[in-house]
């Protein structure tokens, strides 16, 4: 039976919504259902996507972190102990040195310098604070702390491993500091900017990955680092980024739902 207005939509004569789950349900933005149960339209979990890249659940996150840790431990052990992986790495490095256009590979290597990478991260921090205000402060602080942790982690490792460089007898080349700077700065900036990109939210992450990969390739092709120097930095910094991106979300607990029952409609 239709309502008094003859619109064909069931409703009460007093204008209030019927007390049924379907009548009280409000649609989400863009035709998305407003509730989790299956209803026609775009899945509800897609409508709740924030601008930040979705990470795995707790178990997946722990597994990814552990995988990076194991890879980093394996690479570090082989480099420090001069194992077969290090010997293969040096053969590969010698085969790659000097390849590619000199100007382009030098430009790629310079992307990992603090003079280039840090201003990019600083600009993204300022933009996130401008757009998000105090709500963005936990993520901004986490990104800044991740960048500050790079020298605190990389410098002692360089001194301990004391690996010689490809074209010099000087030591302190593992892990690559330029690679670590590029990964944390560019990927950290992308994680901040994704929250404020309305369309095609994938492009900051893709651009950051391209810049970080280009930095590592330039360092190897120019003979500034062995390939495992770059791989070790990637593993170390991915763990750092996982922590810096996850901890702010952990610190913000959703408010508890009120247990006070609503007064019945009379």
Which DSSP string do the residues of 156-209 spell out, in sequence order?
A: HHHHHH-PBPTTSS-B--SS-HHHHHHHHHHHHHHHHHGGG--S-TTHHHHHHH
Rounded CA separation 221/43 (Å) = 46
Residues 6+ away with beta carbon under 8 Å from 101:
none
> Is 188 exposed, middle or buried, given 0-12, 13-18 or 19+ CB atoms closer than 10 A?
buried
Does some domain include residue 79? yes
DSSP state letter for 225: S
Does some domain include residue 3? no
| Res 256: pLDDT | 47
Does some domain include residue 6? no
Rounded CA separation 225/222 (Å) = 8
Please identify which residue in the block is written with the tokens 């102990």. 81
Please identify which residue in the block is written with the tokens 């049924």. 20
| Res 194: pLDDT | 86
| Res 245: pLDDT | 75
pTM metric for this prediction: 0.72
Pull the structure tokens for residue 84. 């077969």
Please identify which residue in the block is written with the tokens 């990104």. 143
Does some domain include residue 29? no
Does some domain include residue 51? no
Q: Measuring CA to CA, how many Å separate 163 from each of 125, 158, 223, 224? A: 34, 7, 14, 12
| Res 187: pLDDT | 95
Q: How remote is the C-alpha of 49 from its chain's centroid?
A: 15
Report whether the peptide linkage leading into residue 136 is cis, meaning its omega lies within 30 degrees of zero.
no
| Res 60: pLDDT | 76
Does some domain include residue 31? no
Per-residue pLDDT of the chain in tens (266 residues, 90 and over written 9): 554 444 455 555 455 555 544 444 444 444 444 434 443 443 333 333 334 445 556 777 788 899 999 999 999 999 999 999 999 999 999 999 999 999 999 999 999 999 999 999 999 999 999 998 899 899 999 999 999 999 999 999 999 999 999 999 999 999 999 999 999 999 999 999 988 888 877 889 999 999 999 999 999 999 999 999 999 999 999 999 998 877 665 544 444 444 445 444 44
Does some domain include residue 122? yes
Alpha helices in the chain (DSSP H): 21-24, 44-47, 58-80, 84-96, 102-110, 114-132, 137-161, 177-193, 203-221, 227-251
Q: How remote is the C-alpha of 182 from its chain's centroid?
A: 13
Segments forming the whole domain that contains residue 176: 58-95+102-250
Does some domain include residue 266? no
Instruction: Indicate the number of domains in the chain.
Output: 1
Residues 6+ away with beta carbon under 8 Å from 172:
158, 159, 162, 163
Rounded CA separation 168/239 (Å) = 30
């Amino acid at each position: 039976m239709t309502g008094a207005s003859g619109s064909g939509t069931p409703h009460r004569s007093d204008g209030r919504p019927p007390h049924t789950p379907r009548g009280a349900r409000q649609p989400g933005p863009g035709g998305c259902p407003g509730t989790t149960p299956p209803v026609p339209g775009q899945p509800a979990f897609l409508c709740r996507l924030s601008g930040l890249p979705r990470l795995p659940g707790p178990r997946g996150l722990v597994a990814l972190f552990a995988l990076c840790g194991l890879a980093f431990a394996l690479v570090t052990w082989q480099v420090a102990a001069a194992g077969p992986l290090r010997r293969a790495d040096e053969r590969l490095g010698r085969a790659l040195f000097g390849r590619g256009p000199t100007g382009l590979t030098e430009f790629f290597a310079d992307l990992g310098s603090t003079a280039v990478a840090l201003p990019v991260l600083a600009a993204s921090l300022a933009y996130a604070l401008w757009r998000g205000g105090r709500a963005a402060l936990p993520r901004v602080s986490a990104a800044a702390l991740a960048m500050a942790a790079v020298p605190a982690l990389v410098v002692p490792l360089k001194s301990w491993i004391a690996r010689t460089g490809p074209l010099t007898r000087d030591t302190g080349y593992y892990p690559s500091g330029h690679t670590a700077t590029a990964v944390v700065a560019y990927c950290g900036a992308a994680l901040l900017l994704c929250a404020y990109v309305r369309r095609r939210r994938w492009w900051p992450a893709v651009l950051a990955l391209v810049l970080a990969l280009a930095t590592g390739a330039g360092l190897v092709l120019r003979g500034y680092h062995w390939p495992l120097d770059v791989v070790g930095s990637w593993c170390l910094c991915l763990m750092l980024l996982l922590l810096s991106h996850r901890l702010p979300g952990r610190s913000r607990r959703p408010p508890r739902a009120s247990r006070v029952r609503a007064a019945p409609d009379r």
